[in-house]
Amino acid sequence: MIKRLLVIFFSVCICFSAIVPLAVVVYADEHPPRLVDDANLLTESEAWYIQNKLDSISERQNFDLVIVTTNDTGGKSSMDYADDYFDYNGYGFGENCDGALLLINMGDREMWISTCGFGITALTDYGIDYIFDRIEYDVRYGDYEDAFDTFCYWCDNFVSRAKDGDPFDRNSNKEPFNEKLPGRVVISVIIGFVIALIATGVMKGKLKSVKFKTSANDYVNNGSLNITNKQDLFLYSNVSKVRIQSESSGGGSSTHRSSSGSSHGGGGRSF
């Protein structure tokens, strides 16, 4: 009797251990992909890199970061398409659906960032424009991997900053720090130094026939310069006045309602 009970007990344990991992996998697969490249802008390796970056940041920050590309929005504006895609595909962490979605609309040559929940706080209108300023060139000229990588970096930066109680906005006391910039500056300085060294070396080689002169008199022919009078004359003055427009002190995020009734922030730009 005891042996039979032990056999039943271990059988149940084995079945349970087999079922639990399966349940975990099914749950993990329920989350929609955070990269949807319907416009086929990325290669397979580029898509793998961006997908992993989106997943890593999203899970670490508990903040859904999503990128969608499309050739056709089905007649919707970029704003409505981005909002609806976020809402109806189940994106967003927590009860407020915290997250942000970048839409690349190739049909209308527009990009739009839709924010929801904590995303409205973290990515202000000013912060969204800041991101667009840094990805517009790459999007316009087809370097989509670099554009999406930059989008991920700044969203991660702004979410962390907002969690610390200092969202990046028009009235922020400090500019966001780009950890990529110092390395690029050092490389640029080294390249510039090498080019300058080569250029000055070439110019120096061409001046070997020139002899050093100790004074300015060596460059003047005898009797050719005779100064008899010196005088300073004031002719006129010219004062220019330019009115400096003061920048609005407003900040924060403008919001609107999507077709599902959810509150969204966001902004867009043509490219």
Q: Which domain holds residue 109?
A: 34-181+263-270
pLDDT of 190 above 60: no
Q: Does residue 207 lie within any of the structural domains?
A: no
The mean per-residue pLDDT over the stretch 216-233 comes to 66
Token code pair at residue 143 = 């370097």
User: Are the C-beta atoms of 81 and 114 separated by less than 8 Å?
Assistant: no
User: Are the C-beta atoms of 120 and 86 separated by less than 8 Å?
Assistant: no
pLDDT: which is higher, 24 or 70: 70
Q: Using one digit for the tens of pLDDT, what is the confidence trace for 82-130?
A: 999 999 999 999 999 999 999 999 999 999 999 999 999 999 999 999 9
Q: Does residue 225 lie within any of the structural domains?
A: no
180 Cβ contact partners less than 8 Å away, ≥ 6 residues apart: 153
Q: Does residue 249 lie within any of the structural domains?
A: no
Q: Does residue 177 lie within any of the structural domains?
A: yes
| Residues paired with residue 256 on neighbouring β-strands, in sequence order | 264
The reported pLDDT for the residue numbered 6 is: 45
The reported pLDDT for the residue numbered 155 is: 98
Q: Does residue 192 lie within any of the structural domains?
A: no
CATH code for the domain of 119 = 3.10.310.50
115 Cβ contact partners less than 8 Å away, ≥ 6 residues apart: 99, 100, 122, 123, 128, 253, 264, 265, 266
In the chain, pLDDT over 90 holds for what percent of residues?
58
pLDDT of 181 above 80: no
| Per-residue pLDDT band at 214 (split at 50, 70, 90) | low
The mean per-residue pLDDT over the stretch 44-56 comes to 98
39 by Cβ neighbours in 10 Å (0-12 / 13-18 / 19+) ranks as middle
| Residues paired with residue 93 on neighbouring β-strands, in sequence order | 98
The reported pLDDT for the residue numbered 213 is: 63
Indicate the number of domains in the chain: 1
pLDDT of 13 above 60: no
3-class secondary-structure state, position 70: strand
| Per-residue pLDDT band at 205 (split at 50, 70, 90) | low
- As a 3-state breakdown, the chain gives helix, strand, coil percent values, each rounded to 5, of 45, 15, 40
pTM above 0.75, yes or no: no
Q: Does residue 133 lie within any of the structural domains?
A: yes
Q: Does residue 120 lie within any of the structural domains?
A: yes
Range ranked top by mean pLDDT from 67-76, 192-201, 250-259: 67-76
| Per-residue pLDDT band at 29 (split at 50, 70, 90) | low
Lowest mean pLDDT among 77-81, 162-166, 238-242, 257-261: 238-242
The mean per-residue pLDDT over the stretch 180-184 comes to 48
The reported pLDDT for the residue numbered 251 is: 82
Q: Using one digit for the tens of pLDDT, what is the confidence trace for 227-248?
A: 666 666 666 666 555 444 444 4
